[in-house]
Amino acid sequence: MGTATLEKNDSAGPVDSAENSASHLITVTLRIRRFNPEVSDEPQWQDFTLEIDPKERVLDALHKIKWEIDGTLTFRRSCAHGICGSDAMRINGRNRLACKTLIKDIGPDKPITVEAIKGLTVLKDLVVDMDPFFQAYRDVMPFLITSGNEPTRERYQSAEDRERFDDTTKCILCAACTSSCPVFWNDGQYFGPAAIVNAHRFIFDSRDEAGEQRLEILNDKDGVWRCRTTFNCTDACPRGIEVTKAIQEVKRALITRRF
Ligand code: SF4
Ligand code: FES
């Protein structure tokens, strides 16, 4: 296991501002599972020790490591504000968004473990191959399907009908749910919670006309019936979506054909 350290005085920026904020800083160790197929077939843990404000996020710590200690550290992120869904990772053994996880909330007195989400092939460090995840998403046709002529005005929908799929509109496709699912870990063929959530979003939309088609897609041997209701997905979702409930509603719609 390798170790790298950044001392307080190594930080970039004016000396006086560093001194002003120094009292807020704590020393934390991020224990990161590194993998570089060009160097080794085996992943290995590496410790990085740095000074950071505990009110900062794990993403800030990763940036600090990448920009000031080791530029080879590889991870995805874009918005840094919980919107794009690109920085889901396992932090202290639990799927979270690095940009929404404060250092102070995850026990910084002990090494904080950071590793790639499970069930998808790791390409490098914290970056996984998302293709199977997005293929399952595409397979459920996550778009409005209607027949007939285009209406000349908006399609009306009651507030009550809108409410039926409100929760599943919040998905940001971060894969935290799918990659926390033991069924998905064992067999990557399972559509996974995120694809079902996005199917739910359209199956229960009163304006959509392809609910039956989507239900048949999810009636497949790799569809909703693989779900074992472990609730890992609901616990993992950074948007607070009731993922397991959505899966149950799709199962019920398959049995009753009412949606
Ligand atoms: S349902 Fe939640 S955890 Fe799953 S992909 Fe969407 S936002 Fe991420
Ligand atoms: S960087 Fe966009 S959700 Fe975290």
From the CB of 65, is ligand 1 less than 6 Å away?
A: no
d(CA 45, CA 53): 24
Edge-to-edge strand ranges of the sheet holding 26-34: 2-5, 44-52, 26-34, 112-115, 88-91, 94-97
Specify whether 135 is located in the same domain as 252. yes
Specify whether 189 is located in the same domain as 241. yes
Specify whether 143 is located in the same domain as 124. no
Specify whether 157 is located in the same domain as 46. no
**Per-residue pLDDT reduced to its tens digit, 175-223:** 999 999 999 999 778 999 999 999 999 999 999 999 999 999 999 999 9
Specify whether 219 is located in the same domain as 149. yes
Tell me 155's DSSP state.
Answer: P
Specify whether 196 is located in the same domain as 246. yes
Q: How many Å lie between the centroid of ligand 1 and the Cα of residue 133?
A: 11
**Per-residue pLDDT reduced to its tens digit, 162-173:** 999 999 999 999
Specify whether 167 is located in the same domain as 249. yes
H-state helical runs in the chain: 15-22, 58-68, 131-139, 159-163, 182-186, 193-203, 211-218, 232-236, 243-256
d(CA 215, CA 259): 10
Q: Which of 69, 104, 128 is the last residue of a domain?
A: 128
C-alpha distance across the termini of the chain, in Å:
53
Counting ligands in written order, the one closest to the CA of 77 is: 2
d(CA 148, CA 24): 62
Specify whether 111 is located in the same domain as 137. no
Tell me 102's DSSP state.
Answer: B
Whose alpha carbon is nearest atom 6 of ligand 1? 171
Q: Which of 78, 93, 128 is the last residue of a domain?
A: 128
Share of the chain above pLDDT 90, in %: 86
Q: Are 56 and 45 in contact (CB under 8 A)?
A: no
Res. 13 pLDDT band, cuts 50 70 90: very low
Residue entry with tokens 């007195």: 109
Which pLDDT value is given to residue 8? 46
From the CB of 172, is ligand 1 less than 6 Å away?
A: yes
Domain interval for residue 137: 131-256
Q: Is 43 helix (H, G, I), strand (E, B) or coil?
A: coil
Which pLDDT value is given to residue 6? 55
Is pLDDT above 70 for 52? yes
Specify whether 99 is located in the same domain as 178. no
Which pLDDT value is given to residue 187? 79
128 membership: H or E segment, kind and range: strand 127-128
From the CB of 80, is ligand 2 less than 6 Å away?
A: yes
Specify whether 118 is located in the same domain as 136. no
Q: Which of 97, 128, 159 is the last residue of a domain?
A: 128
What's 200's domain CATH number? Answer: 1.10.1060.10
Specify whether 180 is located in the same domain as 250. yes
Which pLDDT value is given to residue 46? 98
Specify whether 6 is located in the same domain as 38. yes
Q: How many Å lie between the centroid of ligand 2 and the Cα of residue 100?
A: 8
What's 32's domain CATH number? Answer: 3.10.20.30
Beta-carbon contacts of 39 under 8 Å, excluding residues fewer than 6 positions away, are: none
d(CA 247, CA 251): 6
Give CA separation, 220 vs 132, 185, 191, 208, 225, in Å.
Answer: 17, 18, 9, 21, 8
pTM, full prediction: 0.90
Q: Are 31 and 73 in contact (CB under 8 A)?
A: no
Name the domain count of the chain.
2
